[in-house]
Amino acid sequence: MKFIGIDLYTNCFTACFLDEKGNKLIIIYNLNTEGVGKFFKEVDLDSYALVEATINTFCFVNLIKSNVGQILVANTYELRTISFTNKKTDKVDAYKLARIMKSQILSGEEQVRPVVVAPEKIQDLRALFTTYRLERKQVTAVKNRIYSLLKQNLYPLIKEYIFGKKIRKTIRTLCEEKHVLNFQINLLMDQLEQLESKIKILKERILCEGSYYMKEINNHTSMRGLSVFTAIAIISDIITVKRFSNSKKFASYLRSTPRVESSNEKTIIKSTNKAGRKVAITLLSQGLNHFRNSNPKIRRWHDRLRVYNKAGIVRMGMCRKVITEIYQMLKKEEYHYFMDPENHKQKMNEYIELLKKKEVDYPEEFDIAA
């Protein structure tokens, strides 16, 4: 029986092999066909490997998983609290991972919670959402720069006015007498419109790729304020609701639950869980007003707490309530209690029209009703 700790990098990986007696062997392999082939000669189906999560980990795991008995992916954030030495090198990191894996297999007790290796379709969706968030950040940066230039030159305009579709032509000609300023505004406006066009194309691609999860999307969108796009973001984050035994773990993974530390009579509320994913919570927070206005129970709760709590705390609490309701919908495979049938039908019909336009296959049972 071999226990392997793998420290993975872009062009190579360091593997530490431990046996049951504690004998250690550390080898550095190139991350190519020849290097992986040499690694395969050292392992068999009685080998247990642990690798730390990084950008190329999932692809690496798919490459070697059939040649080892078990391979687990460790969450980088959790491993910060598990350290045997202050010394940090590739070999030390690999040895540390091997020791954790050995302890977990021989003792039968979970030392680290493994990261779920997502299916290829989910990995593709996650990659698309990462690109989407990057493009959105660039849009925000460009808008901020345009607003800053106008404000700097004493044009007292609010952002909502500047970037309205109907007013952009006016903004382009607003500073014609100031040639340098006019040049910058038009350059940035061109960049903004190009980015918005790319985001539209990217968003449509995400919607098309998400059609594989039509059943889950149909369930999600029964909640007011939850769009098809946000539904796909939730699916890409959680993979499946069956991974979570209760709503608390579900909410924690989606970064809506604060960490709590308690000692004697002292309790400290800390930041939310950083080990989960954050795409869904970002999109959900943008539609909170719809959730609040469509759900009498949440609206009463919000109004009561808003009297004596900060807006940010109440907002995160409302996110947590919405996420808990989503969990119950998915777990029970039923529509939302406060579902608006017409609103739900409209969202699904618009989505299916897009899929038809893009010639994307989807289950016939969800076809538009006559």
DSSP per-residue codes, 107-122: H-S-SSPBPP---HHH
Total domain count for the chain? Answer: 3
**Judgement on whether residues 221 and 333 belong to the same structural domain of the protein:** yes
**Judgement on whether residues 203 and 223 belong to the same structural domain of the protein:** no
Domain assignment present for residue 129? The answer is yes
pLDDT band, residue 370 (cuts 50/70/90): very low
- Mean per-residue pLDDT, 151-178: 86
**Judgement on whether residues 244 and 304 belong to the same structural domain of the protein:** yes
**Judgement on whether residues 223 and 320 belong to the same structural domain of the protein:** yes
Per-residue confidence (pLDDT) for residue 266, from 0 to 100: 58
The answer to whether residues 128 and 279 touch, using CB atoms and an 8 Å cutoff, is no
**Judgement on whether residues 221 and 302 belong to the same structural domain of the protein:** yes
**Judgement on whether residues 228 and 325 belong to the same structural domain of the protein:** yes
**Judgement on whether residues 206 and 235 belong to the same structural domain of the protein:** no
**Judgement on whether residues 203 and 139 belong to the same structural domain of the protein:** yes
pLDDT band, residue 4 (cuts 50/70/90): very high
Residue 10 neighbours by CB under 8 Å, 6+ apart: 31, 56
pLDDT band, residue 69 (cuts 50/70/90): very high
Residue 158 domain boundaries: 120-210
- Give per-residue pLDDT as tens, 224-280: 888 999 999 999 999 999 989 898 888 888 887 766 555 555 555 556 666 667 788
**Judgement on whether residues 223 and 204 belong to the same structural domain of the protein:** no
Domain assignment present for residue 357? The answer is no
Per-residue confidence (pLDDT) for residue 22, from 0 to 100: 85
Q: How far is CA 303 from CA 226, 298, 306, 339, 363, in A?
A: 21, 9, 5, 21, 41
Instruction: Locate the DSSP E strands across the chain.
Output: 2-8, 12-19, 24-30, 47-52, 70-74, 258-263, 266-272
Per-residue confidence (pLDDT) for residue 133, from 0 to 100: 93
**Judgement on whether residues 79 and 25 belong to the same structural domain of the protein:** yes
**Judgement on whether residues 163 and 192 belong to the same structural domain of the protein:** yes
Q: What is the pTM of this model?
A: 0.82
